[in-house]
Structure 1
Amino acid sequence: MTVRKATQRETQKILQHSEKVMEEATMGYVKPQKDKAYQMVLSYFDEGGFYLVYAKNNNIQGWIGIGRAMDSFADEMVGLIFEIFVLPKYRKQGIAEKLFFEAFEYLKEEGCKIVQLNVFAENPAKHLYQKLGFREISTIMERQL
């Protein structure tokens, strides 16, 4: 098992999953569109973001997208998790936690004191995030008109 920075080729393979990642992450709230999902991820890359991959025998089983962003409320640079995904056949094996811990170490080395992520309300992964120490700091609400 290895957690390491994704190569350019691996990043391209990961991006092929963007539509599925968007579908799962948004819990059906956002209609998955490959181009839209792809563009959202590329915007993080433009700001220096990248993927860490969990690989066994060079077979990628999961990944986490990390970067940094300015938190305008706290007026400081924070670590950012923009994506976490474990391929379905490798779930429930602790891979996501391993990816998070590696991301935390990397972001800490980069001088970040806080790491943030966005999660949709009904996403079952929210329990994992809470287990890892994340807490809610904001809620977006909407109403149909």
Structure 2
Amino acid sequence: MAIRKATFAETQRILQHSLHVWKEASVGYVQPSLEKAFQLAASFLQGGGYYLLYVEGPVIQGWIAIGEMRDFYIDEAAGFIQELYVLPPYRSRGVAEKLCKEAFRRLKAKGYRKVQLNVFAGNRAKQLYKKLGFYEVCTTMERNLENEKD
């Protein structure tokens, strides 16, 4: 087992999963398009973000995308997890937790005092994030007006 930064070619392979990853992560709240998934990834990567891979031999089992964001409310830079994904055959083996802990180590070494992420309600990864010490800071709430009577 090794956790290491993805090469350019490996990043391109990961991006081929973007539509599926986004669809799974948004748990039905978003109907993602390939174009939008690539736009999000391109923006993140152009901003200095990168992927860490969890590999065993030549097999990529999962990845985490990390970078920086600016906390709008306190005007402070923070480490940011853009994406965490473990391929289905390798789930429930601790891969996601190991990836997160390595991301924390690297972000702390870069001088960040905190790490943030966004997660959709209903995403089962939220349980892992809580276990790893994440807590809710802001909640986006929504009300559907489609069937609203005037």
TM-score range, shorter chain: over 0.9
Residue 91 of structure 1 deviates from its aligned partner by: 0.2
Q: Which residue of 2 aligns with 1:72?
A: 72
Q: Which residue of 2 aligns with 1:121?
A: 121
Residue 110 of structure 1 deviates from its aligned partner by: 0.7
Equivalents in 1 of 2:116, 2:42: separation in Å? 18
Equivalences, count: 145
Runs of 4+ displaced beyond 4 Å: none
Equivalents in 2 of 1:138, 1:14: separation in Å? 29
Q: Which residue of 1 aligns with 2:95?
A: 95
- Secondary structure of 1:54's counterpart equals strand
Between 1:28-37 and 1:77-86, the stretch displaced more is: 28-37
Show CA shifts across 1:82-123 (max 9, x none).
000000000000000000011001100110000000000111
Instruction: Give me the TM-score of the superposition, normalised by structure 1.
Output: 0.98
Q: Which residue of 2 aligns with 1:28?
A: 28
**Does residue 57 of structure 1 match 2:57?**
yes
Instruction: Give unpaired runs (5+ residues) of structure 2.
Output: 146-150
Q: Which residue of 2 aligns with 1:19?
A: 19
Equivalents in 2 of 1:46, 1:11: separation in Å? 13
- Secondary structure of 2:51's counterpart equals strand
Q: Which residue of 1 aligns with 2:104?
A: 104
Identity, % of aligned pairs?
Answer: 55
Residue 32 of structure 1 deviates from its aligned partner by: 2.2
- Secondary structure of 2:120's counterpart equals coil
Letter in 1 for 2:78: V
Q: Which residue of 1 aligns with 2:43?
A: 43
Residue 63 of structure 1 deviates from its aligned partner by: 0.1
Letter in 2 for 1:128: L
Instruction: Give unpaired runs (5+ residues) of structure 1.
Output: none
Equivalents in 1 of 2:6, 2:46: separation in Å? 16
Q: Supply the RMSD in Å over aligned alpha carbons.
A: 0.6
- Secondary structure of 1:73's counterpart equals coil
Between 1:128-137 and 1:30-39, the stretch displaced more is: 30-39
Q: Which residue of 1 aligns with 2:148?
A: none
